[in-house]
Chain A
Amino acid sequence: AQSVTQPDIHITVSEGASLELRCNYSYGATPYLFWYVQSPGQGLQLLLKYFSGDTLVQGIKGFEAEFKRSQSSFNLRKPSVHWSDAAEYFCAVGGMDSNYQLIWGAGTKLIIKP
């Protein structure tokens, strides 16, 4: 079955500290992978995507993610978080198996400690 798991419902990080948000997926075909961010009261915004090629992808706002096929993971990282990064982060997978529609994780809420 196709699914995306974000194991952490919420994570608290101090401002300036590094961040890693976990994402694991189950998908039969070659996956396209995405991270989206939703700030309070806002819609979702695409942070970065992986289709093929280099498994380390760079996104907006200083985020990066690494695709590890052997672990079925696509974890999101940032070396130093800012208070403005407080938001909810969603991982998603798509491809031929889902008619290119996205399968979404339930999200991880990031809380920033001053």
Chain B
Amino acid sequence: ETGVTQTPRHLVMGMTNKKSLKCEQHLGHNAMYWYKQSAKKPLELMFVYNFKEQTENNSVPSRFSPECPNSSHLFLHLHTLQPEDSALYLCASSQIGRPGELFFGEGSRLTVL
């Protein structure tokens, strides 16, 4: 495996379900990100982790709960979501000291019914 891998690629869930998105990077990077991508809107930064420590939380609702057990893995735990949370969730990684040079996974397409 190379690059940034996200699973699952597609997820359909009801509003009362609990699910998780997983991201793994094989690049030796030390920063990881969750972004939300909705049609015709700029990417929205959700969370940033540097060396496993959360450094950014852009006022994301508590129904989204990130977890970063080590520099290579990042999770986004989902519970009690709303239909407006349907979007493409992108994971990215970077090397600290190289700002803005992000490596993205292919995304997890989430549909909330």
Partners in one complex: yes
Which of A's residues lie within 8 Å of B, judged by CB?
Answer: 4, 9, 32, 34, 36, 41-46, 49, 90, 92, 94-95, 99-107
Contacts of B43 in A (CB 8 A): 90, 102, 104
Q: Is A106's CB under 8 angstroms from B102's CB?
A: no
Which of B's residues lie within 8 Å of A, judged by CB?
Answer: 4, 40-43, 45, 48, 56, 90, 92, 99-107
Min C-beta distance of A92 to chain B, whole Å: 7
Contacts of A102 in B (CB 8 A): 43, 45, 100, 102
Q: A73 to B99: give the CA distance in the assembly, Å.
A: 20
- Chain B interface helix/strand/loop/mixed: loop
Taking A45-B104, A102-B45, A106-B40 as given, write out 4 further A-B residue pairs in contact, using a Cβ cutoff of 8 Å, ordered by the A residue number: A43-B106, A46-B101, A95-B99, A101-B48
Q: Is B106's CB under 8 angstroms from A41's CB?
A: yes
The 5 A-B pairs at the shortest CB distance, nearest first, are namely A43-B104, A100-B99, A104-B42, A104-B43, A44-B104
Q: A32 to B102: give the CA distance in the assembly, Å.
A: 13
Q: A4 to B92: give the CA distance in the assembly, Å.
A: 20
Of chain B, the residue at the smallest CB distance from A102 is: B100
Of chain A, the residue at the smallest CB distance from B33 is: A101
Of chain A, the residue at the smallest CB distance from B106 is: A43
